[in-house]
């Protein structure tokens, strides 16, 4: 079976992990801060907090922005459930903003209409979480402009997008957001096994993120509410978690980072080859917008015409031919857990159309041209 995604590890990655295994610190050593600093520098952001997953990073990002009971958090319905679960963990309520059908990203026009309506009902969101689907940045400048008018905070779910660019800067610069989150799950662009990171340019948010990652505890004397009892002293100041990344993982991440640009370039080349060789009378790749470089976590095409049956048959046919085609994503509001909150799919017509037409084809750096030719041939045959 040709998988839809796959990690790429070399001997240097393995050596980096072994070196930590032979050192004194498996966790809470030097590798985590080094990894954080290197990612922050790469992204032109001030601060970074490594976590044990992007899900954890999204959770503490919401908490750092004071999301709690009575608050609304909005995100895209075409994402992994973690993008909205993070708000539920905080006791907030979730709503979804329908997508732009060409890119699959949250539609800024729909966001604006929804904000106008929410203002009338006094239900404006505290936080909006745009998701950079497949690795292409959302219209962050447009979303940021709306945040200034309507007073919400922004967390970029950039789980797909490390190594991508928006305008003149790397995704993760937080130029138009409060916090940006990356995932290092093996299927993503670079991996730490499991892992995530939250970047910000705001020192107060960074302090909160670091406290929440480690039980709400601080060992910094200036942050304490009373004089230190002695060199052993620490204070728990709020309810946090153990969401720490290990040094074993950070060493792998640091080593993987050396090849990030190479990975992204290769993914872009493979995507271009698909674009040339698929029959564009049958399928349309997700539209690429100007001023962006996609990290191409996923290669997604849509059937020219949304057709529930044809879509299902195409994926079954591809899998029968040994090609692990997938759908990213099932709209979150269709999940039974979310259905019980009363969501109506009629409120998200574009997400519905997208769901019945999107096909993820295999994409990872060591995918060969022969494999791509085979995938194109089978898909063209099935759809013809
Ligand atoms: C993978 C993913 C996550 C969760 O990442 P983990 O590191 O597995 O917790 C969140 N959001 C999106 C869009 C993702 O693709």
Give residue-wise pLDDT tens across range 141-151: 999 999 999 99
Residue 306 has pLDDT above 90, yes or no: no
pLDDT tens digits, 162-202? 999 999 899 999 999 999 999 999 999 999 999 999 999 99
* Band (367; pLDDT cuts 50, 70, 90): very high
Look up tokens 């989150």; give the residue: 181
**Among the atoms of ligand 1, which is closest to the Cα of residue 82?**
10
Choosing from 82, 158, 298 the residue with most ligand 1 atoms within 8 A of its CB, the one to mutate for a pocket test is 82
State yes or no: pLDDT of 53 exceeds 90.
Answer: yes
**At residue 86, does pLDDT exceed 90?**
yes
CA–centroid distance, 280 to ligand 1, in Å, is 30
Ligand 1 mutation pick, 51, 54, 253, max ligand atoms within 8 A of CB: 54
pLDDT at residue 98, as a whole number: 98
- Distance from residue 188's CA to the centre of ligand 1 (Å): 9
Question: Measured in whole angstroms, how far is the alpha carbon of residue 130 from the centre of its chain?
Answer: 9
What's the 198 CA to ligand 1 centre distance in angstroms? 12
The token pair that represents 114 in the structure block: 């929804």
Is residue 80 within 6 Å of ligand 1 at its C-beta?
yes
118: pLDDT strictly greater than 90: yes
For residue 308, pLDDT beyond 90? yes
- Given ligand 1 and candidates 4, 156, 183, 213, which is best to mutate, with the most ligand atoms within 8 Å of its CB? 183
Across the range 207-214, mean pLDDT stands at 97
Q: Is 79 in the pocket of ligand 1 (CB under 6 A)?
A: yes
Does residue 129 have its Cβ closer than 6 Å to ligand 1? Answer: no
Exposed/middle/buried for 331, CB within 10 Å: 0-12, 13-18, 19+?
buried
Task: Tell me the pLDDT tens digit for each residue of 327-359.
Answer: 999 999 999 999 999 999 999 999 999 999 999
Tokens 């080593």 map to which residue? Answer: 255
User: What's the rounded Cα separation, in Å, for the pair 343 and 332?
Assistant: 10
Report CA(159)–ligand 1 centroid distance (Å): 5
Question: Is ligand 1 within 6 A of the CB of residue 155?
Answer: no
Is the pLDDT confidence value at 384 over 90? Answer: no
Q: What is the pLDDT of residue 143?
A: 98
Whole-angstrom CA distances from 40 to 43, 71, 197 are: 5, 30, 10
Which pLDDT score, from 0 to 100, does residue 29 have?
Answer: 96
pTM of the prediction? 0.98
Ligand 1: does its nearest atom lie under 6 Å from the Cβ of 131? yes
Average pLDDT, the chain: 97
CB 132 less than 6 A from any atom of ligand 1:
no
Measuring CA to CA, how many Å separate 67 from each of 128, 159, 200, 282? 11, 20, 17, 44
User: Is the pLDDT score of 305 beyond 90?
Assistant: no
CA of 196 to the centre of ligand 1 (A): 8
| CA of 384 relative to ligand 1 center, distance in Å | 34
For ligand 1, is residue 196 a contact (CB within 6 Å)? yes
Ligand 1 centroid–CA 298 distance in Å is 13
Contacts of 377 (CB under 8 A, 6+ apart): none
Strands 292-293 and 165-166: antiparallel
The strand order across the sheet containing 72-75 reads: 47-51, 196-200, 179-183, 153-157, 127-129, 72-75, 93-96
What mean pLDDT comes out for the span 357-363? 98
Q: What is the 133 CA–ligand 1 centroid distance (Å)?
A: 11
Ligand 1 center from residue 229 Cα (angstroms): 41
Q: How confident is the model at residue 382 (pLDDT cuts 50, 70, 90)?
A: very high
Q: What would the mean pLDDT of 62-81 be, rounded to a whole number?
A: 98
Question: Quick check: CB of 85 below 6 Å from ligand 1?
Answer: no
In the prediction, which pLDDT does 309 show? 95
Residue 110, pLDDT above cutoff 90 = yes
């Amino acid at each position: 079976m040709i998988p839809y995604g796959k990690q790429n590890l070399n001997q240097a990655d393995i050596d980096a992990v072994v070196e930590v295994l032979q050192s004194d610190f498996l966790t809470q050593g030097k590798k985590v801060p080094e990894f954080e600093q290197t990612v922050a520098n790469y992204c032109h952001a001030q601060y970074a907090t490594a976590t044990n997953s992007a899900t954890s990073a999204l959770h503490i990002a919401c908490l750092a922005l004071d999301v709690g009971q009575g608050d609304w958090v909005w995100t895209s319905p075409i994402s992994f459930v973690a993008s909205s679960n993070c708000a539920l963990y905080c006791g907030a309520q979730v709503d979804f903003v329908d997508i732009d059908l060409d890119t699959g990203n949250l539609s800024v026009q729909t966001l604006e209409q929804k904000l106008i309506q929410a203002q009338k009902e006094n239900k404006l969101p505290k936080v909006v979480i745009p998701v950079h689907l497949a690795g292409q940045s959302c219209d962050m400048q447009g979303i940021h402009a709306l945040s200034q008018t309507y007073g919400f905070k922004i967390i970029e779910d950039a789980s797909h997008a490390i190594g991508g660019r928006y305008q003149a800067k790397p995704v993760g610069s937080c130029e138009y957001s409060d916090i940006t989150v990356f995932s290092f799950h093996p299927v993503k662009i670079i991996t730490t096994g499991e892992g995530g990171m939250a970047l910000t340019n705001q020192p107060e948010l960074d302090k909160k993120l670091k406290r929440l990652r480690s039980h709400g505890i601080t060992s910094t004397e200036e942050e304490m509410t009373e004089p230190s009892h002695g060199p052993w002293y620490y204070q728990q100041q709020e309810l946090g978690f153990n969401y720490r990344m290990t040094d074993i993982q950070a060493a792998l991440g640091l080593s993987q980072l050396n090849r990030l640009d190479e990975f992204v370039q290769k993914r872009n080349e493979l995507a271009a080859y698909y674009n040339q060789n698929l029959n564009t009378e049958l399928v349309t790749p997700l539209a690429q917008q100007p001023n962006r470089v996609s990290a191409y976590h996923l290669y997604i095409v849509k059937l020219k015409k949304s057709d529930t049956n044809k879509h299902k048959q195409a994926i079954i046919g591809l899998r029968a031919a040994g090609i692990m085609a997938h759908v990213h994503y099932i709209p979150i509001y269709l999940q039974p857990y979310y259905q019980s909150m009363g969501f109506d799919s009629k409120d998200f017509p574009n997400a519905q159309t997208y769901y019945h037409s999107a096909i993820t084809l295999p994409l990872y750096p060591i995918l060969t041209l022969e494999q791509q030719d085979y995938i194109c041939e089978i898909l063209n045959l099935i759809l013809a």
